[in-house]
Amino acid sequence: MTSLLIPKEELYKRERNLLIRRPNTVVIVGVGGIGTWAAIFFTLVGANKIILVDHDKLELHNFNRIPLPPRMVGKNKAEAVAELLVKLRDSTVIPIPETFSKARELIPAIMEPMVLVVDCTDNVTTSNDVLDFCKEYELAYLDLKYDGLSFSVRYYNGGEIRKAAISFDADEVSGYREIPSFVGSAVVPALFGLLLASIPAYKTYYARLDINKLLEICGEGKKYDRKRL
């Protein structure tokens, strides 16, 4: 699926001095809250090919954190997000409405050099499969997870990936138990992932943070003063 061709030199001319690194292919496994925003961000940054892997269908409780209309309930997640992405850029978008265990046999034939795999799944077994896939093909790996206002970000681009897959509230059978979440829970880790993959200085990174703590750090713990606005 592709959209109309648009000259990239015009779209990205203000990024020329930023030395932004763009992966050619981004494989996003798990197109839920975080995965949807990660797909949008990497599309906007100019990735040539976006591969979306998810066998699941949209349910009403998904729509509080993704920019899709509730009328798409029941549609496959990968296919629904693909429809959005082709409206944003001329990237090639390939939805694979399958489990990762099935999709991993298809991905090598359609990925291009400079591949980033983004794990946004909620199941430890699947996450370990994604991790093994990245090791086998020596691919850059980005792991994004969240639980309410807490989230974790793990990134490897070169070097050995030593740790097994991690998650917050997941188990090998059912994945996440029902947890509180909103659009901020999904956007923040997805944004962290975009920044890590876009800035060449970062090769490895791990953070487990709380959004409240992050706001406190960035603002030095001070509340804004209305008189100064």
Indicate the class that CATH gives domain 20-228: alpha beta
Mean pLDDT of the 185-193 span: 96
Residue 89: name the closest of 32, 33, 50 by CA: 50
pLDDT of residue 72: 98
Among the residue ranges 69-78, 94-103, 165-174, the one predicted with the least confidence is 165-174
3-state secondary structure of 8: helix
For residue 82, the number of C-alpha atoms closer than 13 Å in the C-beta half-sphere is: 23
- Concatenating the DSSP letter of every residue in 38-64 gives HHHHHHHTT-SEEEEE---B--GGGTT
- Concatenating the DSSP letter of every residue in 135-193 gives HHHT-EEEEEEEETTEEEEEEESSS---SPP--SS--TTT-PPP----HHHHHHHHHHH
pLDDT of residue 7: 77
pLDDT of residue 48: 94
pTM of the model: 0.89
pLDDT of residue 3: 46
Q: Does residue 160 have a pLDDT over 80?
A: no
Residue pair 50/28 in contact (Cβ under 8 Å)? The answer is: yes
Q: Which of 169 and 189 is assigned the larger pLDDT?
A: 189
Residue pair 20/104 in contact (Cβ under 8 Å)? The answer is: no
Q: Does residue 228 have a pLDDT over 80?
A: no
Give 99-146 pLDDT, tens digit per residue.
999 999 999 999 999 999 999 998 888 999 999 999 999 999 999 999
pLDDT of residue 83: 97
Report domain extents, the chain.
Answer: 20-228
* Residue 179 pLDDT class (50, 70, 90 cuts): confident
